[in-house]
Structures are given as C-alpha cells and as structure tokens.
C-alpha cells in the first residue's frame, strides 16, 4: 500500500513510480521518457517523469473519510446566474457565440487525508474512461474525466469534445446540439494549426454516450500532424481545450477572465500521460476532477470544479442546475451523501 507522501501516477491502467524529475515546461516532453502531465487551465505545467511504469490496478488504501460540512462555491447561485445573463448580453452584441462559465467548489481537507482513497472510491462507483491519479510535489489530484482532450499515436491526433449533459438522452436540448457543433468547429480550427492541410476531419458527430448517472453529447475530431510537430507546439495550439472555453476562443477567454473570480487550476486543463519515446499520449479534459490545494490562510482544502456552456438560448436557472447536476455524483461520493 503506497504511503501518503509517495509520488505516483496511475493512468490507463498503468502505475508509475520511481519519480525521476518534475518539470514545468512542456519542452521537457521532447527529451523522451514516460511523463504524467497536468496543465492548468491558466497554463501552468507540471510534467513528472517516472522510471518505472507497469500495468496494474489502482493501488488500494484505507477507507475515505467522508467530508461532512457544506462545500463553499466561488460563485453563489445569484452571482452565477448573473454571469449567465452577462454572457447572453455579450452574445446579443456579437462579441461571442458561446462561453463556458465555471465555479470552483471547496471543502476543508485534513492533513492526513489521502486522495488515493478518494480515487479508489470514485473508480469503484463512478468509473470514467479517462480516470487517473497524480501525486507529486505541487500536485495531488484525482481525475474521473469522461472527456478526451488529446490522443496521439505517432502523427495521428484525436480530440473528443463533450457539449450537452442530461440525465437521459431525452433531456438533451436543441441548444446542446448547437453548442456541440460550435465547439467541433473550434476544435477543427485548433487542430488545423498543427495538422497537414486537408487531414482534419470529423469522424463522429453528436453521439450520445452513457456515463454513471448522466448522458453526454460527444463528437470526435482528428487529423494528421505536420512533420516535426513537437509536443509543445501541439499543446500550444490546442490549450485550453475547446469545450471548456467557448467560441471565438479569444473572446470567450476574456469573458471567463471577467466573470470567474478564482483561477480554475487543473480543472478544465489537461490531465493524463505522455510516452515521449513511443510518440503516444492520452490526455483528458480535467473535468470531474478533485485536487488538493492550500487556501490563503494555509489550510489544506479539496477543490472540485463544475460549469456549463452558455449561449443565447441559455436559461440562468437551468445552467445553474446543470452545474449542480455535474457535481452531484462525485461531490456526493466524497461527502458520503451518495450511497456506493
């Protein structure tokens, strides 16, 4: 059983141990090796190179102690609904078509609380296709993401944006379809910067995927990288992920800066692994993600982000409800309110 302080990573059914180094620049990936990677929404990079990587199940730990107090939100409901109305005003002026507006939940976390135990809880009761764990100096994170940000296999690269969330397929709205198509266009534009002309395509559009307690509307966009494309160039062209910014991306990022009071951190960034020797990688969009941090007073806290895509067709109360829906299962598990 790994100790609370032992560095490790677990992604795609592989456990990485024997930490070699932690770097804060994606150019490190071009030097080779197997890396666990987290890039914050704001661009901060943590790249951890491990010497020993083996296929194995997630390591076991002791039980997770539920968090019993209320979670604090960076945006309370009135402020969040006000932000939705402001995005609609910007849409009406023609400044932007869509903006992902998020809030960060926070709960006090004991110094001895081991997020590996939380990872085990989520893996058993909310399995996710891109789940993972990273614990290295500066990052202590559990990801249960359903969303593919980037998969690379040599010169072939794929992204899988999610736009549209409901409890059943019948609950998906026309607004979800419009939003997904907009984000697919944005993802196509991002990949076209680093892919060969004419190689970017959309092999899958508006598929309905089932996940624990939710359905998502998912598309796939792929392309063939131009010769010599570095890891840094690929990430520079595609970060932050299209689905958690908006369109046009530059205008959406300005709205996010104006309306969200705290940084997103790993939430809505990139989380996963890179095998630079093999030229392969699988990075998730850092949604459905818990991470430990220090608040301004120095207390250890657990954070979790949730958000919704806002368009002209958005209803403020409905978008708040979507952020609650997206947080309900995992925050409920962490708090002991959702019975495993």
**Where exactly are the structural domains of the chain?**
8-335
- Residue-wise over 91-115: b if at least 16 C-beta within 10 A, else e? beeeebbbbbbbbbbbbebeeebbb
CA–CA distance, 225 with 246 (Å, rounded to integer): 24
Check pLDDT > 60 for residue 1: no
5: cis peptide before it, omega within 30°?
no
- Higher per-residue pLDDT: 164 or 324: 324
Which pLDDT belongs to residue 340?
Answer: 57
- Mean pLDDT calculated for residue range 209-225: 90
| Percentage of the chain lying above the pLDDT 90 cut | 86
Quote the Cα angle for 222-206-189, to 5°.
40
Check pLDDT > 70 for residue 297: yes
Which pLDDT belongs to residue 173?
Answer: 86
pLDDT band at 7 (very low <50, low <70, confident <90, very high): very high
Backbone region of residue 237 per phi and psi (left: phi > 0; alpha: psi in -120 to 50; beta: other values):
alpha
Which pLDDT belongs to residue 3?
Answer: 55
What pTM, to 2 d.p., does this model score?
0.95
Residues 133-144 have pLDDT tens digits of: 999 999 999 999
Which pLDDT belongs to residue 194?
Answer: 98
Which pLDDT belongs to residue 178?
Answer: 87
Which pLDDT belongs to residue 164?
Answer: 81
Average pLDDT over all residues of the chain: 94
Which pLDDT belongs to residue 4?
Answer: 57
CATH T-level fold of 8-335 = Anthranilate synthase (3.60.120)
């Amino acid at each position: 059983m790994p100790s609370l302080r032992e560095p490790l990573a677990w992604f795609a059914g592989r456990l990485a141990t024997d930490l070699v180094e932690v770097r804060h620049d994606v150019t490190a990936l071009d030097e080779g090796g197997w890396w666990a990677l987290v890039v914050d929404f704001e661009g901060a990079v943590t790249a951890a190179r491990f010497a020993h990587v083996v296929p194995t199940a997630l390591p076991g730990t002791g039980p997770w102690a539920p968090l019993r107090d209320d979670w604090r939100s960076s945006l309370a409901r009135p402020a969040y609904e006000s932000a939705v109305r402001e995005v609609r005003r910007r849409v009406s002026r023609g400044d932007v078509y869509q903006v992902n507006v998020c809030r960060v939940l926070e709960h006090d976390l004991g110094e001895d609380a081991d997020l590996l135990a939380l990872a085990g809880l989520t893996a058993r009761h909310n399995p996710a296709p891109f789940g993972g764990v990273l614990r290295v100096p500066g990052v202590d994170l559990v990801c249960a993401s359903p969303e593919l940000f980037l998969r690379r296999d040599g010169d072939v690269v794929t992204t899988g944006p999610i736009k549209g969330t409901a409890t059943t397929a019948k609950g998906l709205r026309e607004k979800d379809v419009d939003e997904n198509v907009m984000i697919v266009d944005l993802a196509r534009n991002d990949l076209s910067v680093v892919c060969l002309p004419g190689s970017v395509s959309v092999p899958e559009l508006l598929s309905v995927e089932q996940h624990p307690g939710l359905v998502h509307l998912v598309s796939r966009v792929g392309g063939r990288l131009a010769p010599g494309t570095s890891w840094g160039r690929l990430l520079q062209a595609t970060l932050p992920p299209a689905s958690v910014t908006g369109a046009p991306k530059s205008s959406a990022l300005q709205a996010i800066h104006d309306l969200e009071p705290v940084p997103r951190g790993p939430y809505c960034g990139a989380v996963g692994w890179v095998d630079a020797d093999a030229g392969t990688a699988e990075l998730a969009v850092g949604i459905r993600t818990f991470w430990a941090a220090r608040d301004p007073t120095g207390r250890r806290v657990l954070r979790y982000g949730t958000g919704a895509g806002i368009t002209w067709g958005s209803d403020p109360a409905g978008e708040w409800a979507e952020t609650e829906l997206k947080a309900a299962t995992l925050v409920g598990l962490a708090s002991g309110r959702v019975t495993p």
